[in-house]
Structure 1
Amino acid sequence: MSAWTPWDWKERKAAQQPEWPDLNQLELVEKELSSYSPLVFPAEIEDLKSSLAQATRGQAFLLQAGDCAESFNDHSAKNVRDRLKVILQMAVVLTYSSGVSVIKVGRMAGQYAKPRSAPTESYLGMQLPSFRGHIVHSDEPDPLKRIPDPRRLIMAYQQSLSTINILRSLTTGGFADLSRVHTWNQEFVASSSEGERYDAIATEITRALNFMEACGINLDKEVSLKQVKFWTSHEALLLGYEAALTRLDPKSKQYYDLSGHMVWIGERTRDIDGAHVRFASGISNPIGLKVGPKMTAEELDELCKVLNPENTEGRLTLITRMGAETLRKRLPELVEQIQRSGRKVLWTCDPMHGNTFTSTQGLKTRRFDDVVAEIRAFFDVHREIGTWPGGIHIELTGDDVTECLGGSLEVFESELDTQYNTICDPRLNARQSLDLAYQVAEMLF
């Protein structure tokens, strides 16, 4: 096979790419992006890879969470902060309750493109091109506004840069200080049972910190208490955008996709001979691979070999997405095959995408209980085989939305349209996310 380059994916079939009306304009935009500064840096990527290697060995747990599809229209420091709050809360609950170190990776600062199962969708009896994310076109139900626009790639870069700057400021500038753990509780969550349980944990943490300080420990010098490591991730779907932000690191002589710390390959783009697998095989970032119900053990083994030929710990994360009952039937065979082959992978569970259905109102939704059931099945299978259930991959928001059914403060089907704000898939709200963290912590303990 010829030496890998960031653009040789163009020689392969690239699934789920927009039908750009002006390829010359697209080429100019990609060339402009190639001159832009990186969004993240190789040293940060290697730091994440080291943390994921720990999780691969069963010494840490990956919490990968964020929006299903980031929006150009709903982008502010407050929205970024509120999503970060929920993830930090979930991580505190998981760590405090289970004693397991939690790696925090956001579906943020780049999750602007979405694959679709059909090229068109119906809206009030009108057929429209399916919405593929704001990096491609508008979500407005207007045929003219659904025409792919290459200039949106530049907008996605700018929005991602803004998000990363906000995240860096929050995670290193005092907001994530463990002594401020009480301030992460959103107002609408605080009055709920989940918020009350979280507040009790926050109080215990504060007492522990006060005790350490009373014993003469200088907490101001403990950087790990003042700051938090937080990484970004997204699906590497639009390969022109990803390739334009891929750089050769002069120190290591390795290529890195500097659009985000971690990228993943989706269920619809995992063709072993396709463009997405070819692109991912050549970058040094941690790679995620979605594993759906149709994946065979032999196919998965071959994909692991292509994506992680040196069998490096922390390089490859397998993200199952099947639905609870299907997962119980299909996952054991896959895990046992990877065990026999000696593949060093991190297994995580996406309990969202296998549990989506359309309500009687015509809104896509998910049941909270189904989400929990799939995670429980994931844990059960790994515990039975003797492997590590290494993480969860969740779509959530910090807003008080009504997009997923159930939870302890139950959202009913008749209430879905009250605060149904997603531009694509339904997300857990902050209360449901915190509720989920408590249940996962019990599985980890």
Structure 2
Amino acid sequence: MQHTLKAVDHEASEWTPGSWQGRTALQQPTYEDTAELRESLYRLGELPPLVTSWEVLALKERLAEAQNGERFLLQGGDCAESFADCTSPIISNRLKVLLQMSLVLVHGMKKPVLRVGRFAGQYAKPRSADTETRDDVTLPAFRGDLVNSPEFTPAARRADPQRLIKAHARSAMTMNFVRALIDGGFADLHHPEYWDLAWVEHSPLAAEYRRMVGSIGDSLRFMETLAGQSISSYSRVDFYTSHEALLLHYEEALTRRVPRQDGWFNLSTHFPWIGMRTAALDGAHTEYFRGIRNPIAVKVGPTVKPDDLLRLIDVLNPNEEPGRLTLIHRMGNAQIGTALQPLLEAVKREGRRVLWVADPMHGNTESTSNGFKTRRFENIAGELDKAFDIHAATGTRLGGVHLELTGEDVTECLGGARDLVEQDLQRAYKSMVDPRLNYEQSLELAMLIVRKSGGMA
């Protein structure tokens, strides 16, 4: 979507899970052995799905409620999952951060929060170049664990079809553990103290968070006293998965028909999205996404023109289905003031039903003098702050946020509660691709959201 889009008659072309192969597919790896790729895709197509169609449809209903202002979407997780991070501490800490943020939002906004993780499938990443050169040696770029390895050797950078099977297995293990935690009471609102992360005891935000926990606990006990019984609905929460559906061979292999439902479902995730680099109207990703029944999202950057966005909406949600389409704007703190409002006005003028979500991360990436890729918390918070104001001025609603975050004690984004500086980055910079918010910065951002939505004085 960074260029003028030519007209495409999507309605005239019959859709199948593989019809994207007749379009230009950007950001796809080159596999040397096509026979090995076919074998891996066949095996992948025989494996059980990772999610169910009724979960997908339930999420679509909740996203429709978010469109109406009845819920707020919190979508967050790693920039790119790695196979090595498929461990119980990392998964549970990631879950804790999202649960704690949602607790802050529920307490402050006084409305249900829809929790969607960027996990159980976020193994592929778009790259600005197909190759990487070091000391006169050029190799394929690292495209995430779904494709190859980050080590700079020919063997590691080879696009390996076996990784498709490994990604499915790691995604299944992640989903199984998350479901077990949720069903076992890990997310019980009666005991949010279980969600504490040991390393943040010193956090300047800890006292404010504990006051919220105490207030929610008092409210629950009061309601249960009146009801004369425990309110079981607060003992668990719903949790959904999402990832950028970048590698289309993988997505096609997990696109299935199901009994007693019409159409096709992408059963690799509940909520796939199209990245900004692959959202061309005539591209393969748009062709694939138009035919699946999942709720879907599209990243929208500052170069997108209103007419192009409206035409994309026509293709992806021609029937104005509630909960079907989410638009995630990622403008950057410096550009959101001029780039966002024309898009909001165009979509509002045409009466299109979408959920607007802010991604204040991806437009604010920079490099430091000591060579680290980072983001400044003040720019992240600044873009989010402006997003609320622009939506309010336009008469539209910001219905959610999309964040890259982790429950690990990382130092990847500058600023925040502990005012991290460039020298701090080398202490605990662990991301393979993009910098993430740590727990304190994530919680601070949740409190900002509550203040901007009018939930805090």
Q: TM-score, normalised by structure 1?
A: 0.97
TM-aligned CA deviation for residue 144 of structure 1: 2.3
Give the CA deviation at 1:217. Answer: 3.0
Question: How many percent of aligned residue pairs carry the same amino acid?
Answer: 47
Aligned: 1:438 with 2:456: no
**Cα displacement (A) at 1:437:** 0.5
- C-alpha deviations, 1:172-226, integer Å up to 9, x for none? 211111111011121122321112211111111112222233334311xx33201
Written as runs of structure 1 = structure 2, the 5 A alignment for 1:129-278 is 129-219=140-230, 222-278=231-287
Letter in 2 for 1:11: G
Which residue of 331, 334, 346 corresponds with 1:322? 331
> 8 Å contact 1:9–1:279 — kept in the other structure?
yes
Distance change (3 Å), C-alpha of 1:187 and 1:28: same
The residue that corresponds to 2:314 in the other structure is 305
Q: Partner of 2:335: helix, strand, or coil? A: helix
Rounded to whole Å, the distance in 2 between the matches of 1:30 and 1:195 is 47
Structure 2 unpaired stretches of 5+: 1-11
The one-letter code sitting in structure 2 at the alignment partner of 1:431 is E
Deviations along 1:234-280, whole A, 9 cap, x unmatched? 00001010010011123122210000000000011001111100000
Q: Does residue 1:418 correspond to 2:416, yes or no?
A: no
Instruction: Name the counterpart of 1:282.
Output: 291
Q: Is the 8 A contact 1:356 1:365 kept in 2?
A: yes
| 1:30 alignment partner AA | L
Give the aligned partner of residue 51 of structure 1: 62
Question: Contact 1:45–1:285 (CA<8 Å) still a contact in 2?
Answer: yes
What corresponds to 2:346 in structure 1?
337
Structure 2 counterpart SS, 1:215: helix
Match of 2:38 among 21, 27, 30: 27
Contact 1:185-1:195 at 8 Å conserved across structures:
no
Question: 1:284 is aligned with what amino acid?
Answer: R
1:125 offset after TM fit, Å? 7.0
> Which deviates further from its counterpart, 207-216 or 324-333?
207-216
Contact 1:94-1:441 within 8 A present in 2 as well: yes
Tell me how far 1:408 sits from its aligned partner.
1.3
For 2:413, the aligned partner's letter is: C
Structure-2 separation of matches of 1:223 and 1:238: 40
CA contact (8 A) 1:66 1:396 kept: yes
Question: Please, which of 327, 352, 359 is the counterpart of residue 350 of structure 1?
Answer: 359
Deviations 1:323-363 (A, max 9, x none): 12311101111011111111100000111110001111111
CA RMSD of aligned residues (A): 1.2
Alignment of 1:117-132 (within 5 A): 117-123=128-134, 126-132=137-143
Seen in structure 2, the aligned counterparts of structure 1 residues 275 and 262 have a Cα distance that, compared at 3 Å, is: same
Is 1:103 aligned with 2:94? Answer: no
C-alpha distance in 1, partners of 2:305/2:223? Answer: 52
Q: Aligned AA for 2:369?
A: T
Q: Could you tell me whether the CA contact under 8 Å between 1:20 and 1:149 is conserved in 2?
A: yes
- 3-state SS of the aligned residue for 2:445? helix
How far 1:126 moved relative to its partner? Answer: 4.9
2:126 pairs with 1:112: no
SS in 1 for 2:388: helix
Distance 1:159 1:434 in 2: 28
Distance of 1:434 and 1:344 partners within structure 2:
30
Deviations 1:371-421 (A, max 9, x none): 001111111110001111111100000000000000011111011011000
Q: Cα offset for 1:129?
A: 2.3
Q: Tell me the SS of whatever aligns to 1:18.
A: coil
- In the aligned structure 2, how far is the partner of 1:416 from the partner of 1:273? 41
- Identify the range of structure 1 (141-150 vs 298-307) with the bigger mean alpha-carbon deviation: 141-150
Change (3 A) 1:251 1:334: same
Cα–Cα, structure 1 residues 224 and 213, in superposed 2: closer, same or farther, change >3 Å?
closer
Q: Which moved more, 1:183-192 or 1:76-85?
A: 183-192
Note if contact 1:190-1:196 (Cα within 8 Å) is conserved in structure 2: no
2:99 matched to which residue of 1?
Answer: 88
Residue identity opposite 2:314 in structure 1? K
Per the alignment, in what secondary structure is the counterpart of residue 277 of structure 2? coil
The secondary structure found in structure 1 opposite 2:147 is: coil
Structure 1: which amino acid aligns with 2:236? Answer: Q
Task: Write the distance in 2 (CA, Å) between the matches of 1:124 and 1:396.
Answer: 33
- Relative to structure 2, which stretch is displaced further, 187-196 or 290-299? 187-196
Matches of 1:49 and 1:372, distance apart in 2: 28
Residue 3 of structure 2 is matched in structure 1 by: none
- Equivalent pairs counted in the alignment come to 443
CA distance in 2 between counterparts of 1:230 and 1:193 reads 28
Q: Identify unmatched segments of 5+ residues in structure 1.
A: none
Amino acid at match of 1:345: V
